[in-house]
Amino acid sequence: MAKSSKHSFYDDEIFDSPPFPVKLLRRYLKFLNWISSKRAHRKVVNLFMTPRIDQKSIVARYHELNLFENGETLFHQLQDHEIFVYKEGTPTALLTYGWESSMVRLQTLMEELRKNNIGFIAFDLPAHGKSSGKLNDAILSSKIVYDLLEKYPSITTLIGHSFGGGISYMSLERGSSVIKMITIGTPTHYSSVVTPFFMMLDVSPQMQQGFFDTISEVFGRDFKDYDLPAIKTKKSIQLLSIQDKNDKTIPHTDAIRMKEARNETCKLMLTEDLGHRKIMHDREVLNEIVNFITA
């Protein structure tokens, strides 16, 4: 799907007054569904797994910011993917960013960890930044997290923003050296992500069910199993869930529901007027993250 600089999946106006490319795509999906519902369902899944980003622009931004001048860069091989990895010091934290984002989103956090002598690793998701691929999904990305945890057993804390928090939490199903997890603006229930996607494409209930059935067929896992409270970790993990009450991308009620599910092992921090992105640069949030890691 072509990138749009003016709209995102979560802009309200795209639902009621979609731009021409979205209108065209809606009509195409309806026509494809009339020809072959199975092909239409697979197309919707393919669109869901396709990031709408300009990787060349992101890489140029990396160079412009000299983002990797203080550490080491390398590539990690997973299946057919070359995953770009950045490492500083002996890593005790692994950082992940959100869908259609980049390590630029992590820059302020990286600087804060560096200032506090906390070594870390970050990586580009498949089809993002310097990593290879055209498609991405939560299972593939969580495997990358798990692979890096196996390679660097010194990592004891996972920090994930948005989609990154979800895939990091999913990796804990397999067990690791991790004892602490920090999610920031993270969707904890699949409906928070897929509902606005369906609304943008005006996907009918019949096609929605076909989407879920195709996901189950391809990945061997029901979509509802991606809800974080449903995921069983191998051991008890201390969780810090940070969410803004004015986040228009992921509702803060997701964090509250996660707190209710995890109860004693989850600390909840709710902020105001920071939204989905500014929260990554807030001084109080950064202090809370460092204090949680070092406690």
The domains of the chain are located at 72-186+233-294
Q: Exposure pattern of 236-252 as b/e (b: 16+ CB <10 Å)?
A: ebbbbbbbbeebebbbb
Q: What is the DSSP letter of 268?
A: E
Confidence (pLDDT) at 6: 38
Residue 160 φ/ψ region, left for φ over 0, alpha for ψ in the -120 to 50 degree band, beta for the rest:
beta
Cα separation, 83 vs 144, in Å, equals 8
Q: What does each of the 295 residues of the chain score in pLDDT, given as a tens digit? A: 334 333 344 444 445 567 888 899 999 999 999 999 999 999 999 999 999 999 999 999 999 999 999 999 999 999 899 999 999 999 999 999 999 999 999 999 999 999 999 999 999 999 999 999 999 999 999 999 999 999 999 999 999 999 999 999 999 988 889 999 999 999 998 888 999 999 999 999 999 999 999 999 988 888 888 899 888 887 789 999 999 999 999 999 999 999 998 877 899 999 999 999 999 999 999 999 999 999 9
- CATH assignment of 72-186+233-294, given 3.40.50.300, 3.40.50.1820, 3.40.50.970, 2.60.120.10? 3.40.50.1820
Confidence (pLDDT) at 2: 38
Confidence (pLDDT) at 174: 86
Cα separation, 107 vs 124, in Å, equals 13
Q: Exposure pattern of 62-91 as b/e (b: 16+ CB <10 Å)?
A: beeeebbeebeeeebebeebebbbbbbbeb
Confidence (pLDDT) at 17: 66
Sheet holding 93-96, edge to edge: 72-78, 81-88, 120-123, 93-96, 157-161, 180-184, 238-244, 266-271
Confidence (pLDDT) at 15: 52
Q: Please name the residues in contact with 272: beta carbons below 8 A apart, sequence gap of 6 or more.
A: 244, 245, 246
* Residue 117: φ, ψ to 5°: 55, 40
Other CB atoms closer than 10 Å to residue 268's CB: what's the count?
16
Asked whether the CA dihedral 192, 31, 5, 80 is positive or negative, the reply is positive
